[in-house]
Amino acid sequence: MRTDGAAAPRGRLLALTAGDAARVATFAALIAALGVPGSLALFGNAVPITLQTLGVMLAGAVLGARLGALSVATFLALVAAGLPLLAGGRGGLAVFAGPSAGYLVGFLAGALTVGLLVDRLRRPTFWPVLGACLVGGVAVVYAIGIPVQALLTGVPLTTTVQLSLVFLPGDVLKAAAAAAVTVGVLRAYPAARTARR
């Protein structure tokens, strides 16, 4: 790991400065902390509603594609190692074979997508950042999570889609919160725009 403060070479995804590593660890911890309030299962859905998708959106939007994805990957590695960091105190390899498995993979793809979209913005304002969070943090996560949930639970895809609609209002609110926080952070700390490259 690099500690000289220089930018990581483009060809070396895992080359991190000390500051990069601290940001990755901070956002991995944030995603874990957002699981502390617990989870809520509604209408018989095998996948609970949690606040952790908010942390995924924030990781991508604030840190950018590379560091945001690394923070989610760090979080998922800790979960796989057995730490009870998912909402409800779940952890271990078994969760990657359960109904939430696709959503967990979707977290990684979602953070990467949000980061890529926000990185392309010349000036991050609320509506474009909200759009990035909705595409990456909602649409991409659902696109991976719902089919995998249907496959693993044996519930027809159309039924799983209908059951998953219960997530949508909360996820839209989380996307709006992530967009507002991101715009505030990037305005208050403009150096974050260059640190994310």
Rg (CA), the chain: 16
Q: Which amino acid is at 79?
A: V
* Dihedral, 127, 184, 26, 20 alpha carbons, nearest 10: 90
Query: Residue 67's beta-bridge partner residues?
Result: none
Cβ atoms of 110 and 58 within 8 Å: the answer is no
pTM value?
Answer: 0.87
Rounded Cα–Cα distance for residues 168 and 176 (Å): 12
Q: Which tokens sit at 113?
A: 């997508």
Per-residue pLDDT of the chain (197 residues), as tens digits, is 444 444 444 545 567 899 999 999 999 999 999 988 755 555 455 566 788 999 999 999 999 999 999 999 999 999 999 999 998 888 999 999 999 999 999 999 999 999 999 999 999 999 999 999 999 999 999 999 999 999 999 999 999 999 888 889 999 999 999 999 999 999 998 777 666 65
| Residues sharing a CB contact under 8 Å with residue 195, sequence separation 6 or more, in sequence order | 19, 20, 23
